Structure 1
Amino acid sequence: MVDTDLLYTQDYRVRAYEIDAQQRMTVPALSRLMQEAALQNVIQIGMSYWDLEPHHISWVLTRQQIEVKRLPDLNEPIRIHTYPAGFLRAFALRDFWVETQEGEPIAQSASTWLLMDTRTRRMANPPDFVLAFNERMPPREQCLPRISGQLEKLKATDYQEDYTVHWHDLDFNQHLNNTLYIQWMLDPVPAAVLAERQLAFLDIEYRAEGQLADALQSEVQEIEPGAYCHRIFRPADGKVLANAYTRWQY
């Protein structure tokens, strides 16, 4: 594991409400566990939403890649590790590792975040007290590879579901919860794929915030067997809220 005092580790047991028909943890549930671990980590190190609120800045997730080796079973004890992994210009990097209690890898994830000015809703440069954490970051070679390259964009719609953002879909910033983007993107994938294959890789790019009462469309295009492009689209203003790519395996 990485050499940093910023590491956060949590033991967890897969709950019944987090599994699918195969009694395995779903990828949306796995992403929620990662989000919770990240929140607890920034609370622990003093960089949480509430610590930054007096400075009128807040963390925003912009991109995440999740690589799944296998999905844990109902009631299986697992362990999650997360840590801030450095800065790339104005962006902050964060890694996640999920494993069994015996250390068998289950999933890993690299993510990219930025600081947003909560008054203007625009990107803010990290202040000095945030950049000071760079001295405590793990060595670059111990971290996951940085996310690079552009996502392939959806060009046609093979499958679609419509959604309306309701109160219980919002996070504490009153925006559509990040993990619901993932769930809604996966929902239109054909049931045969969801039942017979496992999601092996997800790359999601967050572009805009969903608001209460927004009418949204989740669109999916199969670009080759076992590979899909996804997007969340708001017809009212033509804005794309998120793009994603997924790869599935038997």
Structure 2
Amino acid sequence: MINGRKLLNGAYIDHDIVIQQDRLDDPLQTCLLGKFVEGKHVYRQTFIIRSYEIGPDKTATMETWMNLLQETALNHVTSSGLAGNGFGATREMSLRKLMWVVTRIHIQVERYSCWGDIVEIDTWVDAAGKNGMRRDWIIRDYYTKEIITKATSTWVIMNRETRKLCKIPPQVRQEVLPFYSTRLAIAKEDNDVEKIDKLTDDTAERIRSGLAPRWNDMDANQHVNNVKYIGWILESVPILVLQDYNLTSMTLEYRRECRQSNLLESLTNSTTATKNKLKAELEYTHLLRMQADKAEIVLARSEWKPKQIKHKSSS
């Protein structure tokens, strides 16, 4: 068994697809497989952008990128041989009923791929302070090796039963220590580390209420998948911005869990608008909160740049 797939007579099998070992250089075949590069410090996986992963402008979305980052991270844990019986948890974490939860993620997008494009994602981990873990990613165009997206995130450990944060046990630290890499996907000077201003009913320009999580929004850890929050955050962004601008940067700070029974509100406020003859850039602050008691779920900041208009050539 390799990366969750059976190995039979030298061939990788995934359902009815058989991938011969002598064809592993073909990106159409290796999209189902990941591999370690540079020793065991970097895990690399290749993906083809599917038709259901693109938005109205026929390119991948921020949610697509976040889903692929999450998939690569989980496959990294599985392929490392550390996976226990939890969702992304190591064996020692599973024994102690622990799980990873993300507290902050920052992603910078140079461009979004189109349907049928092939991307290559690298991911690695490192310590974050005394009691956290940092995970970074880089997304490249498979053929040109152009870096099109960078991301960094911070994770802590939570007890699955008490839902309380706890320190990383020494046994878990020893498991992940051999995989640590000190490199950075985003340089410190380029990372968005500024505090995100909180929004209220008085400061928010737009409020969208009545957002209800569905059963399919829940993940294997029995809380709303963190990628789902992005869609709800964008519910309160002006439609003209969604149509005419690309989301080029997003920072999310996760405050608490959300369950299916919770009803949510999405708040948005414009913080900057810089315009000149060459470009117009927008920045927004967001808050996703419980509708009943106004408890904060996610604070976020987004940056937008106008989409490039493709002019038709005259005949």
| Letter of the structure 2 residue corresponding to residue 161 of structure 1 | R
Does the CA-based 8 Å contact 1:2-1:142 persist in structure 2? no
Does residue 150 of structure 2 align to residue 108 of structure 1? yes
In structure 1, the gaps of 5 or more residues are none
**Structure 1 residue 182: deviation in Å?**
1.2
Equivalent residue, structure 1, for 2:277: none
Identity of aligned residues (%): 27
Unpaired runs of 5+ residues, structure 2, are: 1-35, 274-281, 307-315
Q: Contact 1:91–1:112 (CA<8 Å) still a contact in 2?
A: yes
Q: Give the equivalent residue in structure 2 for 1:161.
A: 208
Paired residue type of 2:180 = M
Matched, 1:27 2:70: no
TM normalised by structure 1 equals 0.93
- Equivalent residue for 2:42? 7
| 8 Å Cα contact 1:161/1:218 also seen in 2 | yes
Describe the shift of the 1:150–1:63 C-alpha distance in structure 2 as closer, same or farther (beyond 3 A). Answer: same
Q: 2:127 corresponds to which residue?
A: 86
Which residue of 287, 298, 303 maps to 1:242?
298
> 1:143 and 1:12, CA in 2 relative to 1: closer, same or farther beyond 3 A?
closer
Mapped partners of 2:116, 2:246: distance in 1: 19
Deviation at 1:127, TM superposition (A): 1.3
Out of 205, 209, 224, the residue aligned to residue 176 of structure 1 is 224
Distance 1:3 1:235 in 2: 47
Which stretches of structure 1, 4 residues or more, deviate above 4 A after TM superposition? Answer: 1-4
Contact 2:270/2:283 (8 A) holds in 1: yes
Larger Rg: 2
Q: What corresponds to 1:228 in structure 2?
A: 284
Is it true that 1:96 corresponds to 2:131 in the alignment?
A: no
Q: Is the 8 A contact 2:236 2:267 kept in 1?
A: yes
The Cα offsets for residues 48-101 of structure 1, whole Å up to 9 and x where unpaired, read as 336322211100011000000011111111111111122321111000110101
**Distance in 2 separating the partners of 1:134 and 1:144:** 21
Counterpart in 1 of 2:96? 55
> Structure 2 counterpart of 1:49, which letter?
A
Paired residues for 1:65-76 under 5 Å: 65-76=106-117
| Counterparts of 1:203 and 1:31, CA distance in 2 | 12
CA positional deviation for 1:42: 1.4
Tell me which amino acid in the other structure corresponds to 1:54.
L
